[in-house]
Amino acid sequence: MVENASYGIEDELFIRGKVPMTKSEIRAITISKLKLTRESRVLDIGAGTGSISIECGIACDKGRIYSVERNQEGIDLINKNIEKFKLKNIEVIHGTAPEAFKNIKKIERVIIGGSGGKLESIFEWFNDNIQKESIVVANFITIENLYKAVKLFKKYKYKNIEVVQASISKSKNIGDLTMLIGNNPVFIVTGNKK
């Protein structure tokens, strides 16, 4: 395993390409909302580089992580990161949601990082396939997708629906001075299925 790899991995430790990656601060919030156990079974939809899958894989060392990505470059990066962090509990699935989920059973934690425009179909699959005591966390950068997600959480009778807007700024040195550079805000929506 990468030396000192634990919850809160620095972005620079991941192998990255042109595929979007969830930044460390957003990963921290997202993963905290999942309330993981060592045995959790997690579905990471739109996994990108696999940064969330990797952190879940470390936290859920006795569980199983399903990392779903439709982009081939993303699949390659996820596999490289799994190898780098020497994890054995992550299954990479190349495909589009929800069709790619057909062999996945007994999921209790879900992250939606990307939906490919099929958000309602994904929620329909959840309705029939995720465990009764489950948590879904969805990350969005657009207001339109946030609105769709909140409507779907309500339509499918999720409880404790919460929306967090995370606006993260990070320091950058300019000579002897320090300034803050803002990242795009991210909407993090959480709901419990009970």
Q: Where are the domains of the chain?
A: 21-193
Instruction: Compute the distance between CA of residue 52 and CA of residue 109 in angstroms, rounded to an integer.
Output: 12
CATH topology of domain 21-193: Rossmann fold (3.40.50)
Band of residue 158 on the pLDDT scale cut at 50, 70, 90: very high
Q: What is the average per-residue pLDDT within 137-142?
A: 96
Q: How far is CA 152 from CA 95, 100, 181, in A?
A: 23, 20, 33
Model pTM? 0.92
Instruction: Please choose, from the candidates 194, 191, 161, 182, the residue with its C-alpha nearest in 3D space to the C-alpha of residue 34.
Output: 191
Which of residues 36 and 6 earns the better pLDDT score? Answer: 36
Residue 1 has pLDDT above 60, yes or no: no
Q: Which residue has the tokens 């879904």?
A: 136
Q: Which two tokens mark 40? A: 């959790």
Q: What is the DSSP string of 68-97?
A: EES-HHHHHHHHHHHHHHT-SSEEEEES-T
Q: How far is CA 3 from CA 6, 52, 87, 102, 175, in A?
A: 9, 18, 13, 36, 31
Instruction: Compute the distance between CA of residue 44 and CA of residue 81 in angstroms, rounded to an integer.
Output: 15
Residue 78 exposure: Cα atoms within 13 Å on the Cβ side: 29
Q: What is the average per-residue pLDDT within 105-113?
A: 94
Instruction: Please choose, from the candidates 126, 63, 50, 30, the residue with its C-alpha nearest in 3D space to the C-alpha of residue 92.
Output: 50
Instruction: Compute the distance between CA of residue 152 and CA of residue 21 in angstroms, rounded to an integer.
Output: 25
Q: Which residue has the tokens 């190898």?
A: 83
Give the dihedral of Cα atoms 98, 104, 108, 114; nearest 10 deg. Answer: -30
User: Each residue of 17-51: pLDDT tens digit?
Assistant: 888 899 999 999 999 999 999 999 999 999 999 99
